[in-house]
Amino acid sequence: MSTTRNQLIELLENNQQEYISGQQLCERLNISRTAVWKHMKELEKDGYRIVAVPKRGYRIIEFPDKLSKNTLQWGLQTSWLGRNIVHYPEISSTQKIGHQLALEGAAEGTVIIADQQTEGKGRMGRKWHSAKNEGIWMSIILRPQIIPQLAPQITLMTAVILAKAIETVTEVSPAIKWPNDIFINNRKTAGILTEMQAEQDEIQYIVLGIGINVNQSRDNLPEDIQKIATSIKQESGKQWRLVPLIQEIFIQFEQKYETFLQKGFTDIKEEWEMYGYKIGEQVRISSNKLTYPAKLIGLETDGALKVQKQDGSTESIYSAEILW
């Protein structure tokens, strides 16, 4: 969003109880009355309700919940994440556009977000149901200066961020199912898809996909996933505004990502274990055609899942099917 548009919204926000004249806006923003009027029309397209009264000026009477570059960036307290936002009312997949933009040199922190995806995807090629205005469907471009082997830690970090943001905004208690799913009351609410372009010792870019079911009712979910998926609305009994939740994710992400790059994975590991789904409980591990019971202990320092077998020995799981 232009600096002028941002300043205009801030001026209107700070004067909600009274009108601010067109002349004042011209002087404060150093633009013409015609430019002020054009900015107002653009804000109205985004869903802001603005009253204009001759000889008194302008006043915002309602802020929108619709997603747009303007609504997401207004009041956003981040330095680099979300400073470039590409929004689509409908798109096949935010991941696809993320890869295209990353290859074209898009800056780190660029966000691709959509009201609806027609070909949303999860891990291992699974389809992700992404209905219009019912959830958060977005991808973030990252360019971390770490070796490719550490990329899975970014997935685990993102899971912590989503859990904390959901808990902060909605007061619902989520859990993280290793490695990348957010559960509420034993059903999936959000997922993370991490895709990267890398050489042997260098990551060129990561496209981090995030899907969160926010306002779906049970009947709005596909019948084949109604027993295993849920939404924040279903679990809280309330409809939620998307913009505050997205902004909280951005704030949490910027802080944790910078800490991760500076200090490593240790602090994130501890937070992840606090949210870990079924930590301390027995599950069944299926790997290399063998299935065996094991107790979930936590994470290893590299992000692998640590389990304890029935004979007391421990094992680090990097890739396996866990029968929860």
* 226, burial (CB in 10 Å: exposed 0-12, middle 13-18, buried 19+): middle
**Length reported for the chain:** 324
Q: Spell out the residues 6+ positions from residue 98 whose beta carbon is closer than 8 angstroms to its own.
A: 110, 112, 139, 140, 141, 207, 209
148 alpha-carbon distance from chain centroid: 22
Q: What single letter denotes the amino acid at residue 61? A: I
Distance of alpha carbon 119 from alpha carbon 100, whole angstroms: 16
154 contacts: CB under 8 Å, gap ≥ 6: 142, 144, 194, 206, 208, 257, 260
Nearest alpha carbon to residue 3 among 23, 24, 29, 26: 29
Distance between CA atoms of residues 43 and 25, nearest Å = 15
Q: How far apart, in whole angstroms, are the C-alpha atoms of residue 306 and residue 294?
A: 10
**188 assigned binding-site residue:** yes
247 marked as binding residue:
no
Residue numbers belonging to the annotated binding site: 117, 188
Residue numbers belonging to the annotated binding site for biotin: 117, 188
